């Protein structure tokens, strides 16, 4: 439920579920669930721009998970990579995403870096790879890849393909019926498609593949660089 809320950008509800799971795991003394939940919550803090607090949470969770549940460390580490990307520290972010390449967020993170660096063709290739690995019925999981694909194709001037991806994304928004997804993903994506009309076209450049999606059920929501909440510092 927490991951589903995060995927459709319903961060308020995701935070509520995080608090409930933290309370339950504390009562049942299931620490690894508590830490995994806190890593997810820290990812929400990254989205909201509360970067300093997010980093503290992610580092602490990664350190503790390395001891009690090593296989779950990537849940925290990959979100630290997204934080570094949003801070503009792209080389560090790419290194983290490469280290956590088994996690689906890493694939999307690398695609976002491609967009940040102006390589929309490689971003498109990675987004398409993500969508190939995402089960067709997992509509919330696919939403993150679709949003990225729309932006990449729009940047390349691939108007028809971007419109088709936007229609699928719009269908996801209709299905899950959440205002946050429509406001944070669909509306900006539609704007990107409209803005791409008559834009330049670029030839595709092959990108390295990282086929990992089916091995994880973690969240995957991306976006443009944001400004941190300075009040959190």
Please list the ranges in the chain whose pLDDT falls under 70: 1-15, 17-19, 21-22, 24-26, 28-34, 177-186, 197-233
**What dihedral angle (degrees, nearest 10) is formed by the CA atoms of 80, 122, 164, 214?**
-50
Burial class (CB in 10 A: 0-12, 13-18, 19+), 79: buried
How confident is the model at residue 127, as a pLDDT?
96
How confident is the model at residue 74, as a pLDDT?
94
How confident is the model at residue 201, as a pLDDT?
46
How confident is the model at residue 204, as a pLDDT?
45
How confident is the model at residue 195, as a pLDDT?
81
pLDDT tens digit sequence for 98-130: 999 989 889 999 999 999 999 999 999 999 999
- The distance of Cα 175 from the centroid of its chain, to the nearest Å, equals 20
């Amino acid at each position: 439920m927490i991951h589903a809320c995060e995927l459709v950008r319903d961060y308020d509800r995701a935070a509520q579920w995080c608090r409930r799971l933290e309370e339950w795991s504390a009562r049942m003394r299931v620490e690894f669930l508590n830490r995994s939940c806190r890593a997810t919550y820290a990812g929400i803090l990254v989205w909201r721009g509360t970067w300093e607090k997010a980093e503290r949470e992610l580092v602490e969770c990664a350190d503790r998970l390395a001891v009690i549940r090593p296989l779950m460390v990537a849940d925290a580490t990959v979100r630290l990579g997204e934080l570094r990307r949003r801070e503009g520290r792209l080389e560090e972010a790419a290194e983290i995403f490469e280290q956590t390449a088994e996690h689906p967020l890493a694939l999307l993170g690398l695609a976002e870096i491609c967009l940040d660096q102006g390589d929309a063709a490689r971003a498109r290739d990675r987004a398409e790879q993500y969508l190939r690995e995402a089960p067709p019925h997992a509509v919330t999981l696919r939403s993150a890849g679709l949003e990225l694909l729309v932006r990449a194709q729009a940047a390349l001037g691939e108007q028809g393909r971007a419109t088709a991806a936007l229609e699928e994304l719009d269908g996801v928004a209709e299905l899950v019926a959440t205002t946050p997804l429509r406001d944070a993903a669909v509306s900006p994506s539609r704007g990107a498609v409209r803005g791409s009309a008559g834009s330049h076209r670029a030839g595709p450049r092959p990108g390295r593949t990282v086929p990992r999606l089916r091995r994880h059920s973690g969240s995957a929501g991306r976006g443009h660089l944001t400004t941190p909440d300075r009040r959190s510092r």
